[in-house]
Structure 1
């Protein structure tokens, strides 16, 4: 019982203080037994669980996270960036407009950076996104070994564009 309480306290404190968590959803039926790729997600700790919003335009993807499914959450140190703790979670999708959804969205709204629609954001989330609750289950699991480095997920986003024709002249011209 004591180790379970210590695990719970470690999970809560580490997750509250971390700005990012890494989440791996459970494998799909008949899919890869390793599960879905691990994703870095921004989150809030609210009422004993992690809350995340995503799967809508301009929001983070939540692949492999299904209502009633399982996930493994790995928490990093905010100071050093190293892994602190990993824990199993049960995923619950909050129904838009429910009291749980409203409470989670109020917390998430305060933490959302660079929102394009400000005060209209909760309404957009209600229409276009999913709000998930990842509740800790059981005791912690061993931390993953190795670097876990992986190529970035495919995306239509790009930062590569042709160099403007005038740029070399501007960079190489002598200052007067």
Structure 2
């Protein structure tokens, strides 16, 4: 597969499906940084288990039509607060964060205070699999168990409610 497709998918990425090891893939919002993706996770941010401690991960990117066009193994590099890369990338990522309260500087300070992990996913171009090599069947998985899926009893009603 040509690395041009991978580079173009990274440039246009706003969301990536990232999995660590044999774990499930999580949809994570991200920001393109050169030929890599920057992802923030942790308390108060998106849930990405084991990503901060991982050395490698698998990322799947979508195309303009919304379907997956490329999958690649990526090297995971955790950026530490105070490092030159953190100081460059974290404020840019904070401005891209939707629905954040406060300024970008406040958000970056909150990430440091809460111990959030800023990671950079750099794909290995030789591991990239393009559309032609991707499996034809769906990669959809059944929903994972969560308290939000547990059916609760209907609320008590003192008076009869008429259906319309």
**TM-score using structure 1 length:** 0.74
Q: Structure 2 matches for 1:113-132, cutoff 5 A?
A: 113-115=98-100, 117-119=101-103, 120-128=106-114, 129-132=116-119
Does the residue aligned with 2:85 lie in a helix, a strand or coil?
A: helix
Q: How far apart, CA to CA, are the structure 1 residues paired with 2:79 and 2:34?
A: 13
Task: Extract unaligned runs of 5+ from structure 1.
Answer: 27-34
The 3 A distance-change label for structure 1 pair 83 and 108 is same
How much has 1:111 moved relative to structure 2?
1.5
Does the residue aligned with 1:97 lie in a helix, a strand or coil?
A: coil
For residues 49-108 of structure 1, give each alpha carbon's deviation from its aligned partner in whole angstroms, at most 9, with x where no partner exists.
11000122x31111232445111111102x321111111100011111211112221221
The 3 A distance-change label for structure 1 pair 85 and 171 is farther
**TM-score using structure 2 length:** 0.79
Residue 142 of structure 2 is matched in structure 1 by 151
Decide which of 73, 86, 100 is 2:59's aligned counterpart.
73
Task: Extract unaligned runs of 5+ from structure 2.
Answer: none
The 3 A distance-change label for structure 1 pair 83 and 169 is same
Does the residue aligned with 2:138 lie in a helix, a strand or coil?
A: coil
Q: How far apart, CA to CA, are the structure 1 residues paired with 2:146 and 2:11?
A: 30
The 3 A distance-change label for structure 1 pair 94 and 165 is same
Moved over 2 A (4+): 141-145, 151-158, 160-166, 168-173
Does the residue aligned with 2:125 lie in a helix, a strand or coil?
A: coil
CA contact (8 A) 2:11 2:35 kept: no
